[in-house]
Structure 1
């Protein structure tokens, strides 16, 4: 970044439109004006202070990515890797001691901090619902003019694929059977236990988990696509912590999120290989056990490495879509070949009971049930920890596919459609298992409790055409397993690097490194006791992640408050007015036609930026300086390597006037007749002010037209500040009366 010296020819004591109290305890200084209107120099935000306005948020990208180049966060990578490797070695070489120690820690957490996990999840659900129903729900994950990249059906399908893992198949049978035989409260093998058996599993795979995904996904997406920050947890905390997210504090947060994510993915992979090993053993006549499980882990790593090094990521993404169709085929087969009427009746009743009992169940800690902490630790607390650990992982994916969506539709879709799909899977599998138990199949019930993976396949064997269903179920589970392994390595590489462009991933070698380390951790937990050890580890290492959830809620709430303050302090505009204030630049008919028919390349956009836009901004900056204003002209290098010009008037103000021209990649409209290019994207020069993107393109304008647009934006800025002062003055007068 290059900075021109700030011209301090004449110091201005107060910003035009500064609200009372903005200058701290000092009385307001006299206002000095020029022919541009406006005044200068309000109190300056200290470098280490958190942002206090949307104008401050505009500095986030510069403070987070610096020179705009991707790089490895070595401190995050080394410390997180050391923690995971140390735990893995401990579990491998001292499996009995590791299992015993973790059991004691989990028992302490369940006995003393169960209420904390329960309260955290309830607050997360309440927060995301509040975002959806509030006025801020209309805010988009991107500039105001941005629109979704995927159609609704495709987007919903991708939402479901993001948050569903093979663990859902594992617990869909054993969960209902266990809750029927040994419920957390009341007598087992009773009518009350039967009614709640499937509902408890629905509860554990329901709104709570998807609320965590929605929270982290919308927060990271908001700052990445609306404020051009990296797609990361630390960017989501910028409004709360300011520049400190780039220092040791931010590194610590990234380490916590990264370690939690690795344990979440490793747990899912471990549960997956335990389940799949039984399927492979039955299909190919192999011996189910630890050897086969380790072989499956190694196979997943090989697929991840192949996808990373051979450029077949598109094939992996195609596989992730295929697993939805295979899961759908499996559900249809079970519904048709099984007890259709019973399964449909049970599904309707289960969903209804879930909705009716959700509020009470959400706060259920079983404080009055002796020995309930063991059940809470094995079920509710484990799942809450699991979702928190998976939250950053799934949140990144949800953010990437949701650019242009409003916060309202993002939240509503995330906590409804995928949840309903989970309910269908749980209800069909769970009620099929319960039907067998009710028919007196005690051997199946005992197997489902003692060995869930064998119980799941035992249920498949009870259907006609069992071998076909076993192959289909194993194939579907394998696809879930492989996509989780590959996607997990990608997200971990992103969390251990600083990547300015949200569309880019970490380097290939880093993805391979995380795939290998996750495999080592998975094998270590298998050696230390299998699924039970994985549950223990997840519950322990997800505890620090709860702190991140609270920080993200506080940070996002603050950012939405800034949006609300900006909206309420802005002059109402007609529909013909640009989103950032002022009319869209007028063009001649030839300019309009050329703009409609031309889709500039990156080189063409860069040339226009240097030959027309930058000289225009320099001319305006020079005139401001001649009038005695403090002006800052700088260039911010974007992810494409282009130096974007930024003009700031009153740079020390809490809300300075800012005019930045950003190079934005956009898809070429498919309806256009000019499709001779070999690319499907073009580049726009969009204006970004303190209130966000203006939503229009400067390409094709003349230098005087660009200057006129700068002045239009500046007039809108002054009008908004004046309106804010008048509103505050009226409020102060009413309070005095």
Structure 2
């Protein structure tokens, strides 16, 4: 089996050491991670805000630039998947579990404890929804789109391996094959590992909350451990069937279930209120997106802490997911033009996220603001099921949600093992099954260690710390991408001039 054994061995070794430390001294690990999180949030919050805004502007530049017509692949390459399947695969690997976990809980949390001003008011409802859109909208998908674009270009245009280090070749040249390139790939492995671990941790907690609501199963770490053990078997089986079978079929199932759940809540919930909320928030978001994306509140420690704990955390989370989501999107996007690719990855998922949070979060806000229920007092993982209790067919919606979280769980872990396998086998498009199985086991073990040592806070810390070095890599990647695209555009432009002169 041909693979970059050094990257594989170093990554597995460090990951195994991290898991061992978490098992032996979980409390000390949790304390150390807490100190690291506070340092990064307070020291580099401004940096995360600036780079997230930069990535959005960079993506917009790609849409309108002269590079938009360049195809990801050869001139005669056709897309491997049709658009509905492409969107489903992109979305299932992107934010599936998070949409269900935070669908009600984030907007209702911002409604009751907004980033500024008084909570539980009409103003805080719009403000809370607007910030939720910020966290899951254009900024997030711009980050994904840029990394996916660089990976897809190098892979399908230059036949480079599907590695983060390969995207730096225009800047570093042959040095990407040496220690610098291997370091980049190891950083990408751990950002992926911790970024996906957070989603799996959220997923297991919410599956447990749903089972507690439906059948009275206790909501605790032991049950979540069993849930993860069972689902580990499922996603390893799925991962070993290959992308065109397991991930493709599960992605389509996910999309179908999510559509059913979305329209069920839209119809059963306060429909007119939700439509009005969407329209109002859209205007507010468009008007304030730049201000929100750069807000830090240097004169107010409370408001600054809110921004660090929510907005800055999200930017770090999405950056940590870029090796995972970026590689996966790149893998399934051969044959698309840059303009089509960026527009699709940037706008379509952002709109879907906006609609999703408006329907789910708006229903929760309506129940509390209009009907006087205490939705905001529920925990993050139980808020969604509490909302279901107040609606017709609540039990059916809960069953559907647990099923959807499970399939999202399997798909995310399935996709992650595939990408981790690529990253540690020299960029192979079809990593060996044993490599994917090893990474599947490590992924679940790391998730359990983070949950045991710090819960949700532990998951957040791992994301924030691992994303920092990766952010600098992505910035260099942007420079290399423009350099490479400009080179190709000049070649094509010169060819066109030669043809015109000859004719």
Q: What range describes the TM-score normalised by the shorter chain of this pair?
A: over 0.9
Residue of structure 1 equivalent to 2:176? 245
The alpha-carbon distance between structure 1 residues 153 and 320, as it changes in their structure 2 partners (threshold 3 A), is closer
Matches within 5 A, 1:503-514: 504-514=429-439
- Partners of 1:277 and 1:542 in 2: how far apart? 28
Give the C-alpha shift of residue 269 in structure 1. Answer: 0.4
Deviation at 1:191, TM superposition (A): 3.2
In 2, the alpha carbon distance for the partners of 1:546 and 1:308 equals 28
- Counterpart Cα distance in 1 of 2:119 and 2:238: 48
1:109–1:173 distance in 2 versus 1, CA, 3 Å: same
> Is 2:328 aligned against 1:397?
yes
Residue 437 of structure 1 corresponds to 368
Structure (1/2) with the larger helix percentage? 2
Structure 2: give runs of 5+ residues left out of the alignment: none
User: Of residues 420, 431, 440 in structure 2, which corresponds to 1:492?
Assistant: 420
Q: 1:648 maps to which residue?
A: none
Higher-strand-fraction structure: 1
Deviation per CA, 1:345-386: give whole Å up to 9, x if none. Answer: 111212221112111111111223223342123211111111
Contact 2:71–2:336 (CA under 8 A) maintained in structure 1? yes
SS of match in other structure, 2:158 = coil
Instruction: Check whether the contact 2:184–2:473 (CA below 8 A) recurs between aligned residues.
Output: yes
Maintained 8 Å contact 2:210/2:402 = yes
Aligned to 2:24: 93
Change (3 A) 1:282 1:355: same
Alpha-carbon offset, residue 208 of structure 1: 1.2
| CA–CA distance in structure 1, aligned partners of residues 96 and 20 of structure 2 | 26
Mapping of 1:587-598 within 5 angstroms? Answer: none
Work out whether residues 71 and 499 of structure 1, in 8 Å CA contact, stay in contact via their aligned partners in 2: no
Assess if the C-alpha contact under 8 Å between 2:239 and 2:247 holds in 1: no
Paired position in structure 2 for 1:194: 125
Query: TM-score, normalization: structure 1?
Result: 0.66
Distance 2:470 2:262 in 1: 34
Asked if 1:375 is matched to 2:306, the reply is: yes
Per-residue deviation, residues 561-595 of structure 1 (Å, max 9, x unmatched): 212332343352559xxxxx999xxxxxxxxxxxx
In structure 2, relative to structure 1, the CA distance for the partners of 1:410 and 1:77 (3 Å cut) is same
The alignment status of 1:222 with 2:176, answered yes or no, reads no
Summarize the Cα distance change of 1:582–1:286 in structure 2 as closer, same or farther, 3 Å threshold: farther
Change (3 A) 1:355 1:311: closer
Q: Identify the residue that residue 319 of structure 1 maps to in structure 2.
A: 250
Q: Report matched runs for 1:651-666 at 5 Å.
A: none
* 1:565 aligned onto 2:490: yes
Q: 1:457: how far off?
A: 1.1
The CA distance in 1 between the partners of 2:450 and 2:466, in whole Å, is: 14
The answer for the alignment partner of 2:272 in structure 1 is 341
Find the partner of 1:422 among 347, 350, 353.
353
Change (3 A) 1:76 1:311: closer
Shift of 1:297: 1.3
- Greater gyration radius: 1
Give, in angstroms, the shift of residue 334 of structure 1.
0.6
State whether residues 160 and 421 of structure 1, in contact with CA within 8 Å, keep that contact through their aligned partners in structure 2: no
In 1, the alpha carbon distance for the partners of 2:202 and 2:433 equals 26
Worse-matched range after superposition: 532-541 or 150-159: 150-159
Match of 1:303 in 2: 234
Native 8 Å contact 1:107 1:373 kept in 2: no
**Normalising by the residue count of structure 2, what TM-score does the alignment of the two structures yield?**
0.95
Shift of 1:331: 0.8
Which range is displaced more, 224-233 or 314-323? Answer: 314-323
> In the aligned structure 2, how far is the partner of 1:305 from the partner of 1:170?
23
8 A Cα contact 1:110 1:381, kept in partner: yes
Runs of 4+ in 1 over 4 A off after TM superposition: 308-313
1:480 corresponding residue in structure 2: 408
Superposed CA RMSD in Å reads 2.0
State the secondary structure of the residue aligned to 2:454.
coil
Asked if residue 526 in structure 1 is aligned to residue 457 in structure 2, the reply is no
Mapped contact 2:80–2:334 kept (Cα < 8 A): yes
Higher relative CO (CA 8 A, sep ≥ 6), structure 1 or 2?
Answer: 2
Given that 2:112 and 2:120 are in contact with CA atoms closer than 8 Å, whether structure 1 keeps it comes out as yes
Gaps of 5+ in 1: 1-69, 576-580, 584-737
Tell me which residue corresponds to 2:476.
Answer: 551
Aligned partner of 1:273 in structure 2 is 204
Query: Does the 8 Å CA contact 2:141/2:345 hold for their aligned counterparts?
Result: yes
Q: Distance in 1 between matches of 2:246 and 2:302?
A: 49
| Alpha-carbon distance in 1 for matches of 2:84, 2:457 | 37
Q: Deviations over 1:85-136 (max 9, x none)?
A: 3332333332332222222222222222100001111111111211111101
Determine whether 1:75 maps to 2:29: no
Corresponding residue for 2:285? 354
Q: Distance in 2 between matches of 1:393 and 1:172?
A: 22
Most deviating of 72-81 and 257-266? 72-81
Residues 400 and 582 (structure 1), Cα distance of their counterparts in 2 relative to 1, 3 Å cut:
farther
Give how far 1:479 is off.
1.0
